[in-house]
A and B are shown apart, each in its own frame.
Chain A
Amino acid sequence: GAVVSQHPSRVICKSGTSVKIECRSLDFQATTMFWYRQFPKQSLMLMATSNEGSKATYEQGVEKDKFLINHASLTLSTLTVTSAHPEDSSFYICSASLLRTGDQETQYFGPGTRLLVL
């Protein structure tokens, strides 16, 4: 149980285009979904937290107009990288926490999306 998927797993795009990444909780409803960015050989950096039906909460230094997050349902959150540039190339990972009391703090992670902007 508690499986999270991401799509696509890998994407290459041209500079200036926008890219959408989907994060789905497959077998559970997620109270909250999180978006992380990971640079090579580094730990995860939290970008934003989203709750279904409300605006995402962005971490300091993360541009909300560049990284658009939509959390349309209890099983789907999307991250859109707008006007992507080479410096946005990274590994993006989402996670989700369960909609049930007693286990809201455990996050279940997706497999990640490798973005390469040329």
Chain B
Amino acid sequence: AQSVTQLDSHVSVSEGTPVLLRCNYSSSYSPSLFWYVQHPNKGLQLLLKYTSAATLVKGINGFEAEFKKSETSFHLTKPSAHMSDAAEYFCVVSPFSGGYNKLIFGAGTRLAVHP
């Protein structure tokens, strides 16, 4: 069975400090993995996507994520948080890399950024 676990429901950081949002997945196949961000009362914006190419994926707004198969993890990081990064972040798995299939969403991590 496929599943996604976001290890922290809330993360709070100070502006200018690093961000780490943790995600572990379970998949019987070679999955594709995504991080999406959702600002209040908005839809989801794609931050980055892993599809079995380079294990370190760079996304928009300075975010990046590293796929670690041995740890079944896909943690999202950013070297320096900005106030505008405060939002809800979803780790998402597509069980089969390539082609259409249902996405599996994590429960979300709410990131707060303090001045």
Q: How far is A118 from B97 in the complex, measured between Cα atoms in Å?
A: 43
| Chain B interface main SS type | loop
Which of B45, B96, B100, B101 touches A109 (beta carbons < 8 Å)?
B45
Please report the total number of A residues contacting B with Cβ < 8 Å: 24
Docked Cα-Cα span, A110 to B34, in Å, equals 17
A93 contacts B99, C-beta separation under 8 Å: no
Chain A residues with CB under 8 Å of chain B are 4, 6, 31-32, 42-44, 46, 49, 91, 93, 95, 97, 102, 104-112, 114
Chain B interface residue count, CB cutoff 8 Å, equals 24
B69 CB to nearest A CB, Å: 19
CB-based contact B41/A97 at 8 Å: no
Q: What residues of chain A lie closer than 8 Å to B106, measured between beta carbons?
A: 43
Given A43-B106, A43-B108: A105 and B46 within 8 A (CB)? no
- Checking B36, B44, B100 against A105 with a beta-carbon cut-off of 8 angstroms, the contacting residue is B100
Query: Residue on A with the closest CB to B94?
Result: A105
Q: A43-B106, A112-B41 are in contact. Are A105 and B90 (CB under 8 A)?
A: no
